[in-house]
């Protein structure tokens, strides 16, 4: 992937209305097989969409011409348009996509590990990618530190609009269909506030005839809607769970995340304890570290106690500042001390690399710049 700074503007988003065809990516293979007979055609169509990244039904040459024409009348294959692409010096690439109604959402391709070769020139390993995708336009949860929250809530994404973000990114970066990619639902929106569509997208991503991304390669991050965590657990999807905790006492958490009034820390911990976790996995607790707010060792101590008895890992995140926020990024030293306190006492704890910091990779930030006309 090219690492120099590129900026491409394909067009400004405009709100417009027209009759929308159904998004074919909204359908699971089974739903498609119900609609398109004979049923083996659904498998072929899935392969065209998710292996060959087709953008026009006319490309689907192994389908009868009449079927291609009927599909084009009923469905759209291209529900998203790329508005901007920004490259970071660390190899991550951020996309702003426009939906059919003019709203925009972000997704980020993160290069977790570069391609490497042995000394004899043979391939040691391929690049490793994680894609961060959005589940809603805006968010209702209203966290004080989050830029997505500032724009309010517009609407839920459909399963197809969620799936399409990854398909667009894979196509744009020539990532072959059979290459493993990890997915994190850590873009704009609260995934559990759009549970049905998110769960459907997890299943579509996992389809063997489609992108074949196993659920254990997909992580849903939530601000802690306890009742929905329980519901998600009962769905037995096999996905990984990440909890955006950010504070260890209810008073502070309530100030940072108003949702804590409805679902306090104790209710989240109970829901996590009931959640089915893959034997080889842990529940991730994300802890956004804000200078002089939640970065002291007393908080680390409480965190340790809170997670006692849970198969947990902690991911410390540097607060990523943006114009107009009163919050500040913590020092590297404070982050390291916080981490060390936990790891020395046996809790897995990593510091999230500030991937794409130069392109404002904390989700919501590119969109906000675009709406303000800064991009
Ligand atoms: N709504 C879900 C998922 C999307 S937010 C959730 O909150 O978990 C994904 C992550 O981005 C959250 O952990 C959130 O705390 C983090 N985030 C939000 N604003 C940020 C900022 N300014 N700097 C760094 N991380 C931020
Ligand atoms: Fe919504 Fe997550 Fe942002 Fe909170 S951090 S406002 S839950 S997107």
The closest-lying atom of ligand 2 relative to the alpha carbon of residue 140 is: 1
- Does the N-terminal peptide bond of residue 38 adopt cis geometry, omega within 30 degrees of 0? yes
Q: Does ligand 1 have an atom closer than 6 angstroms to the CB of 317?
A: yes
Q: Does ligand 1 have an atom closer than 6 angstroms to the CB of 219?
A: no
Query: Catalytic residue at 106?
Result: yes
What local confidence, expressed as pLDDT, does residue 122 receive?
A: 84
For 195, residues 6+ apart whose C-beta sits below 8 A from its C-beta are: 228, 231, 232
Q: Does ligand 1 have an atom closer than 6 angstroms to the CB of 190?
A: yes
pTM of this structure: 0.91
Ligand 1 midpoint to CA 74 (Å): 37
Residue 241: CB atoms within 10 Å:
23
Q: Which CATH class for the 5-13+80-371 domain?
A: alpha beta
What local confidence, expressed as pLDDT, does residue 352 receive?
A: 85
The low-confidence residues of the chain, meaning pLDDT below 70, are: 1-19, 354-375
CA–chain centroid gap for 23, Å, is 20
Ligand 2 midpoint to CA 245 (Å): 11
Residue nearest to atom 4 of ligand 2 (CA): 143
Strand partners, 222: 243
- As given in the structure block, the two tokens for residue 126 are 């391929």
Residue nearest to atom 8 of ligand 2 (CA): 189
The closest-lying atom of ligand 2 relative to the alpha carbon of residue 147 is: 3
What local confidence, expressed as pLDDT, does residue 65 receive?
A: 97
Ligand 1 midpoint to CA 7 (Å): 24
Which tens digits make up the pLDDT trace of 31-63? 999 999 998 999 999 999 999 999 999 999 999
Residue nearest to atom 3 of ligand 2 (CA): 146
Q: Does ligand 1 have an atom closer than 6 angstroms to the CB of 223?
A: yes
What local confidence, expressed as pLDDT, does residue 4 receive?
A: 38
CA–chain centroid gap for 244, Å, is 13
Residue of 69, 73, 29 whose CA lies nearest to 47: 29
Indicate which residue of 106, 164, 190, 368 is catalytic.
Answer: 106
Question: For residue 23, which phi and psi values (nearest 5 degrees)?
Answer: -80, 120
Ligand 2 midpoint to CA 190 (Å): 6
What local confidence, expressed as pLDDT, does residue 362 receive?
A: 55
In angstroms, the CA 371 to CA 114 distance is 33
Best probe residue, ligand 1, of 131, 136, 146 (max atoms within 8 Å of C-beta): 146
What local confidence, expressed as pLDDT, does residue 128 receive?
A: 87
Ligand 1 midpoint to CA 343 (Å): 23
Ligand 1 midpoint to CA 71 (Å): 39
Q: Which long-range contacts (CB under 8 A, 24 or more apart) does 69-76 make?
A: 71/24, 71/36, 71/45, 73/21, 74/21, 74/22, 75/21, 75/22, 75/23, 75/24, 76/20, 76/21, 76/22, 76/23, 76/24, 76/100
3-state secondary structure of 143: coil
Q: Does ligand 1 have an atom closer than 6 angstroms to the CB of 132?
A: no
In angstroms, the CA 268 to CA 260 distance is 9
Q: Does ligand 1 have an atom closer than 6 angstroms to the CB of 359?
A: no
Query: Catalytic residue at 363?
Result: yes
What local confidence, expressed as pLDDT, does residue 359 receive?
A: 56
CA 193 to each of CA 58, 92, 165, 189, 224: distance values in angstroms, whole numbers, following the listed order: 37, 27, 19, 8, 10
In angstroms, the CA 42 to CA 49 distance is 10
The closest-lying atom of ligand 2 relative to the alpha carbon of residue 149 is: 6
CA–chain centroid gap for 45, Å, is 25
| Nearest ligand, CA 187 | 1
Place of tokens 């995340």: 257
Ligand 1 midpoint to CA 347 (Å): 22
Indicate which residue of 139, 143, 349, 363 is catalytic.
Answer: 363
Strands 116-117 and 123-125: antiparallel
| Nearest ligand, CA 143 | 2
Q: Does ligand 1 have an atom closer than 6 angstroms to the CB of 50?
A: no
Q: Does ligand 1 have an atom closer than 6 angstroms to the CB of 145?
A: yes
Strands 153-156 and 136-138: antiparallel
For 118, residues 6+ apart whose C-beta sits below 8 A from its C-beta are: 124
Q: CB within 6 Å of ligand 2 — which residues?
A: 139, 141-143, 146, 148-149, 189-190, 223, 244
């Amino acid at each position: 992937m090219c690492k120099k700074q590129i900026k491409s503007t394909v067009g400004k988003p405009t709100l417009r209305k027209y009759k929308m065809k159904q998004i074919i990516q909204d359908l699971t293979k089974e739903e498609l097989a119900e609609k398109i007979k004979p049923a083996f055609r659904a498998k072929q169509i899935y392969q065209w969409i998710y292996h060959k990244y087709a953008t026009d039904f006319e490309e689907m040459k192994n389908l009868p011409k009449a079927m291609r024409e009927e599909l084009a009348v009923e469905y759209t294959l291209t529900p998203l348009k790329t508005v901007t692409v920004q490259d970071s010096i660390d190899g991550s690439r951020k996309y702003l996509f426009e939906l059919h109604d003019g709203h925009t959402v972000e997704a980020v391709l993160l290069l977790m590990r570069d391609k490497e070769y042995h000394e004899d020139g043979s391939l040691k390993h391929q690049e490793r990618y994680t894609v961060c995708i959005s589940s809603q336009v805006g968010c209702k949860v209203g966290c004080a530190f989050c830029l997505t929250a500032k724009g309010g809530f517009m609407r839920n994404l459909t399963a197809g609009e969620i799936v399409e973000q990854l398909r667009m990114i894979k196509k744009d970066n020539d990532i072959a269909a059979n290459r493993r990619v990890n997915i994190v639902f850590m873009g704009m929106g609260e995934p559990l506030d759009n549970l049905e569509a998110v769960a459907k997208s997890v299943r579509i991503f996992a389809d063997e005839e489609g992108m074949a991304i196993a659920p254990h390669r997909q992580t849903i991050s939530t601000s802690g809607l306890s009742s929905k965590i329980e519901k998600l657990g009962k769905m037995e999807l096999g996905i990984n769970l990440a909890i955006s905790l950010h504070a260890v006492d209810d008073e502070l958490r309530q100030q940072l995340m108003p949702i804590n009034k409805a679902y306090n820390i104790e209710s989240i911990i109970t829901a996590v304890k009931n959640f089915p976790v893959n034997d080889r996995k842990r529940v991730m607790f994300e802890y956004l570290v804000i200078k002089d707010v939640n970065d002291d060792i007393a908080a680390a101590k409480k965190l340790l106690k809170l997670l006692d008895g849970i198969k947990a890992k902690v991911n410390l995140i540097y607060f990523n500042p943006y114009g107009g926020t009163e919050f500040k990024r913590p020092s590297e030293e404070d982050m390291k001390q916080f981490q060390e306190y936990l790891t020395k006492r046996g809790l897995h704890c990593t510091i999230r690399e500030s991937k794409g910091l130069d392109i404002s990779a904390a989700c919501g930030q590119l969109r906000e710049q675009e709406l303000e006309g800064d991009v």
